[in-house]
Structure 1
Amino acid sequence: MPLDPLPLKSNTPDAPIITGHGSQLAKLTISLTELISRETDLLKDRKPREAQKLHGEKSRLMAEYRETLNRVRVNEHTLGPKGSPERNYLKDLTDTFRAVLRDHARVVLRLKSVSEGLIRSVGEEVAKRNRPVVGYGKNAATQPAPRSRPTSLALNQVI
């Protein structure tokens, strides 16, 4: 597939024109940054179903990003010398992408700990309610507790 030179979106008005695999990497970085930002916003707004709908596209973009990054590493010389505008532009895009990923990870971990806490507290409450009553039997001796079936809860949903 031919990779056309294309000026890309950037926070800086003088975004360099990048060609080849570097151009593809920049496009994918921008797309992933926007997609993960949108997913993070949906999770913050407590809309996990809508965020889950983005998972397929995110997986596809991540696979393509990984392949393109490997190609860029192999053909690193196409980006020009160290400190070139093209390399600096890609570095800025990557730094922004990493910041978005850190924010996303923070939100996901927070939601995960909340979910686990809810599951744990429900499980503890169920265990309390199912706790056998120990009483006295004949001759004032304590009766052995009848065996109760264990209760377990699990949350099986991928976000």
Structure 2
Amino acid sequence: MPLDPLPQISTNKDAPPITGHGAQLARLTIALTELIGRETDLLEARKPREAQKLHGEKSRLMAEYRETLNRVRVNEHTLGPKGSEERTYLRKLTDAFREMLRDHARVVLRLKSVSEGLIRSVGEEVSKRNRSVVGYGKNAAQTAARARPTSLSLNQVI
């Protein structure tokens, strides 16, 4: 969903008219908040494959967001004086975005710990099944025949 550059943004009734880089930053913040919200919903619904499909768009939007944020910082005066409607609106959007990121991080960390627990329990079960076999060797001394170690790892980006 590419964002076309519009000269002005007003996404809701509370939004003041914002132009230039501020408008682009507002659009990107809204788009990222919605996209990360969808990804979080998919992860909570246990649909990681579908959530993974959003990764490319999320990366593109994040790169554009970072670039636009740097432009806004350089041209900060275009947003008006401190405490202006435009700055307040952008702060409100940013706060909602940060809240969405916190929720997303919580879900991702929870799923990560579940996945690691599963992998750990499978690894423990495999090592139980592949325990050393104790037997007698030369000179009637006990020896342990070692089984090859088995390890599992999960290296998938969501």
> Structure 2 length normalisation: TM-score?
0.92
Structure 2: how far apart are the matches of 1:8 and 1:138? 83
Question: Which residue pairs with 1:145 in the alignment?
Answer: 144
CA contact (8 A) 1:79 1:87 kept: yes
Q: 2: CA distance between counterparts of 1:41 and 1:6?
A: 27
What letter is aligned with 1:7? S
User: Residues 3 and 21 of structure 1 are in contact (CA less than 8 Å); yes or no, is this contact kept in structure 2?
Assistant: no
**Cα gap change, 1:138 to 1:71, in 2 (>3 Å):** closer
Give the residue type in structure 2 aligned to 1:134: V
The structure that is strand-richer by fraction is 2
> 2 CA distance for matches of 1:86 and 1:137?
82
Sort the Cα spacing of 1:124 and 1:30 in 2 relative to 1 into closer, same or farther, 3 A.
same
Confirm or deny that 1:8 pairs with 2:7.
Answer: no
Provide the rounded CA distance (Å) in 2 between the counterparts of 1:6 and 1:42: 29
Secondary structure of the residue aligned to 2:134 is: coil
State the shift of 1:157 in Å: 1.6
Residue equivalent to 1:109? 109
Q: Does residue 42 of the first structure (1) align with residue 42 of the second (2)? A: yes
Report the equivalent of 1:118.
118
Q: What do the CA deviations read for 1:9-50 (whole angstroms, capped 9, x no partner)? A: 4xxx22100000000000000000000000000000000010
Letter aligned with residue 149 of structure 2? P
Q: Please report how far the alpha carbon of residue 6 of structure 1 lies from its aligned counterpart in structure 2 after TM superposition.
A: 2.2
Structure 1 residue 149: Cα displacement: 1.1
Distance of 1:149 and 1:41 partners within structure 2:
41
- The alignment status of 1:55 with 2:55, answered yes or no, reads yes
Give, in whole Å, the separation in 2 of the partners of 1:48 and 1:112.
12
Does the CA-based 8 Å contact 1:8-1:17 persist in structure 2? no
Question: 2:94 aligns to what?
Answer: 94
Structure 1: tracts of 5 or more residues without a match: none
2:18 & 2:138 partners in 1: Cα distance?
88
User: Which residue number in structure 1 is paired with residue 155 of structure 2?
Assistant: 156
Q: 1:139 to 1:83 in 2, by over 3 A?
A: same
Contact kept, 8 Å, 2:9 with 2:19, in 1: the verdict is yes
